[in-house]
Amino acid sequence: MEIKLHTLKSMFLKYLLVMVGIWSFMTRDAHAYLDPGTGSYFVQILIATLAGGGYLLVSSWDRLKKFLSGLTGQKKNSPSKKNEGRK
Q: In this predicted model, what pLDDT tens digit does every residue of 18-52 receive, in sequence order? A: 999 898 888 777 777 778 788 899 999 999 999 99
Q: Each residue of 43-56: b (16+ CB within 10 Å) or e?
A: eeeeeeeeeeeeee
Indicate yes or no: pTM above 0.75: no
Task: Report the alpha-carbon distance of residue 69 to residue 76 in Å, rounded.
Answer: 8
Cβ-contact 76, 69 below 8 angstroms: yes
- Band (pLDDT 50/70/90 cuts) for residue 9 is confident
